[in-house]
Chains A and B, each alone.
Chain A
Amino acid sequence: MKKKFKLEDLDCANCAAKMEEAIKKLPGVNDASVSFMTQKMMVDAEDDKFDDIMKEVVAVCAKVEPDCKILM
């Protein structure tokens, strides 16, 4: 399942790249992209565990860039 999220206060392009990389490494995530330009994030992950995976996504993002909020 692919889902898109809006991001708020994503202020640094390097962080966006780091977030993307961190999300891609999570188990169950097939693909992910974080766009600094559109301030959007796309996560493609396994259907049945999507909600749990999203919790981890939020956690890794907070680790990389605590100021950035994911609007769910």
Chain B
Amino acid sequence: MTTKQKKMLYRIIAAFVLFFALMIAEHTGALSGVNPLLLFVLYVIPYLMIGYDIIWKAFRNIRHGQVFDENFLMMLATFGAFGVQEYSEAVAVMLFYQVGELFQNYAVGKSRQSISDMMNICPEYANIEENGSLTQVDPDDVEVGSIIVVKPGERIPLDGIVTEGASMIDTAALTGESVPRKVSVGDEIISGCVNGSNTLKVRVTKAFEDSTVARILELVENAGSKKAKVENFITRFAKYYTPVVTIAAVLLAIVPPLVLGGGFGEWIRRACIFLVISCPCALVISVPLGFFGGIGAASKIGVLVKGSNYLEAVAEMTTIVFDKTGTLTKGEFKVSEVLPAGAGTEAAAKEELLALAAHGEGYSNHPIAHSIREAYGKPLSMERVSGTEEIAGHGIHTFIDGREVYLGNAKLMEREQIGYTENKSAGTVVYVACDGVFAGSIVISDTLKEGSKEAIRDMKRVGVQRTVMLTGDRKAAALSVAAELGIDEVHAELLPEDKVGEVERLLDRCAGKEKLAFVGDGINDAPVLMRADVGIAMGSMGSDAAIEAADIVLMDDDVRKIASLVRISRKTLAIVKQNIVFALGIKALVLVLGAFGVANMWEAVFADVGVSVIAILNSMRTLKEK
């Protein structure tokens, strides 16, 4: 508790003791003969003790032109109670209002604390080595190119490259990944991670304000400014709610006695109940708090959400569109099949075919050549190769050990009139011919990213109706990836600029509130990320432009996190809706009961601050979703 809260607590206790003593005295009849004026004064003492600041604030705010604030309303309600000689109620209302406010204050402080603890990735200092001794400086003051020392257990203050030492670093705060990452000389490390057991020397590559940690903190802090529809609704609602209820209270105090006759006292008492419930605080606090918690829970698993509106959109997402390369597949091409044509023992024939292809592609820089050489895995003896020439759009013509070799696509085989067996596998096929005879084919394909399959399955399980994959790749390759992953719809052979059009067509198919998300690695797809309802980018391999353009960033590039994010967003939305229904329901109920004289002030206080506290506690549950 802060000192301010403690002071309030003491005031509450003191006022409560006094109030309790008065109640006992009144009920035991000890005060029965007392002068009414004295009785009034006796109750005013605890009242002022607990409520003086409210009254003072009410007057001060009226002077500033803030009429309908909660202080004024509480003052009016309690004055009203005094006016109709309900002294004990006046004191009790003020007392419980303050208890509720204190509790609410405490709960908000606590939740703010737990969220900021979670986001506690900001490094406080950087160690700079000067003349053999270490000095601690503000990370803000470290220049690019300087060497910093990160001791075991310290938070890495700036992005950089390791120049000395090797260690395990804990990236959990940024990526949610619990397995530490091994780093050694030459590796890039990012700020915000915690160093393991060894000292590292790091050459700083980015100034603090451009470093990963500063950018993440900026994103999360600004997340609050992009409000969800529900939040905007509440803000608008709050603006009208208080004046409407207050006017209703005034009418309730004046009209019925004039129409029905009888005393004003009872109706003023009922009007006071209206005033007590007229603050929309429960909603105004709990709704943003719920979203804040949801965004916090997402960042805990390494997913940065740039605004509560995106969290809301994810909850309503029915279509998810993936870019293939870099998102579902690694974008690394590997030899997946070696199919020799001739006889001979399998392994030896494969080996020979690969050797032929590797030497034939020995001078090429093409990614495919690279993967074939990698699959061959042995040093090449290029003296065996002579007269290599590239045939554009077809392949390579070369001589290996004096034998004429053709390497390339089906068109090459046809051009050279070599009888070949078509290989229908998905991926890029390289046909090999030696001395005019077909020797076999090699298939090179992209490898699936770990977890892509589970990611698609989990997304379907949480209720995403349509999964779509867009790619610039050949149709056969795209279809085989889609089939393996269980993706519903594929659009292949797209140019980067076609992807926007494709996403627009898919957006048109989304009915009403249905939302579409696009997931990409950000290479060439920043426009698509912007166009989709929700753009999800890969954080660690994606470009800065993609992170800028995206609405949600997966820090560790793990598409499996999207299903968890959907769960978090749905839970957040559910909690926010519960709070709205609960708070409005109770308030409406007490208003109606109050108007008919069934509810009393106590219930009104509960409907105001009690509901607030319950809604805040409910909101805190968003933090816990995993």
**Which chain A residues have a beta carbon within 8 Å of chain B's beta carbons?**
4, 9, 11-15, 17-18, 33, 35-40, 42, 62-64, 66-67
B219 close to chain A: CB less than 8 A? no
Interface 0/1 of B1-30, CB less than 8 Å to A: 000100000000000000000000000000
Task: Establish whether residues A17 and B292, one from each chain, have CB atoms under 8 Å apart when the complex forms.
Answer: no
When chains A and B are docked, how far (Å) is the Cα of A40 from the Cα of B224? 10
Closest to A31 in B: B225
Chain B residues within 8 Å of A13, by CB: 281, 284-285, 288
When chains A and B are docked, how far (Å) is the Cα of A67 from the Cα of B71? 13
Chain B residues within 8 Å of A35, by CB: 221, 224-225
Contact status of A12 and B70, CB under 8 A, knowing A33-B225, A66-B64? yes
Task: Establish whether residues A11 and B105, one from each chain, have CB atoms under 8 Å apart when the complex forms.
Answer: yes
Task: Establish whether residues B238 and A17, one from each chain, have CB atoms under 8 Å apart when the complex forms.
Answer: yes
SS class of chain B's interface: helix, strand, loop or mixed?
Answer: helix
B423 close to chain A: CB less than 8 A? no
Task: Establish whether residues B225 and A42, one from each chain, have CB atoms under 8 Å apart when the complex forms.
Answer: yes
Interface 0/1 of B263-300, CB less than 8 Å to A: 00000000000000001110011001100100000000
Closest to B218 in A: A4
Interface size class of B (residues with CB under 8 A): 20 to 34
Task: Establish whether residues A36 and B221, one from each chain, have CB atoms under 8 Å apart when the complex forms.
Answer: no
CB < 8 Å: which of B64, B222, B225, B288 contacts A63?
B64
**What is the distance, in angstroms, from B512's C-beta to the closest C-beta of chain A?**
29
**11 new A-B pairs (CB below 8 Å) besides A14-B70, A66-B64?**
A11-B105, A12-B70, A13-B281, A13-B284, A14-B281, A17-B238, A17-B284, A36-B288, A37-B112, A38-B224, A67-B57
When chains A and B are docked, how far (Å) is the Cα of A65 from the Cα of B374? 68
Sampled A-B contacts (8; CB under 8 Å): A11-B105, A12-B281, A14-B281, A63-B66, A66-B57, A66-B60, A66-B64, A67-B57
Chain B residues within 8 Å of A39, by CB: 112
B132 close to chain A: CB less than 8 A? no
Enumerate B211-270 residues with CB–CB distance to A below 8 Å: 221-222, 224-225, 235, 238
Task: Establish whether residues B64 and A64, one from each chain, have CB atoms under 8 Å apart when the complex forms.
Answer: yes
When chains A and B are docked, how far (Å) is the Cα of A40 from the Cα of B115? 15
- For the complex of A and B, the 7 pairs showing the least CB-CB separation, nearest first, are A33-B225, A13-B285, A13-B284, A63-B64, A35-B224, A37-B292, A14-B284
Interface 0/1 of B49-78, CB less than 8 Å to A: 000000001001100111001100000000
Of A15, A38, A62, chain B has the most CB atoms within 10 Å of the CB of A38
Task: Establish whether residues A37 and B70, one from each chain, have CB atoms under 8 Å apart when the complex forms.
Answer: no
CB < 8 Å: which of A11, A37, A63, A66 contacts B115?
A37
Chain A residues within 8 Å of B65, by CB: 63
Chain B residues within 8 Å of A63, by CB: 64-66
When chains A and B are docked, how far (Å) is the Cα of A70 from the Cα of B69? 21
Task: Establish whether residues B66 and A64, one from each chain, have CB atoms under 8 Å apart when the complex forms.
Answer: yes
**What is the distance, in angstroms, from B323's C-beta to the closest C-beta of chain A?**
32
Closest to B287 in A: A13
When chains A and B are docked, how far (Å) is the Cα of A32 from the Cα of B238? 20
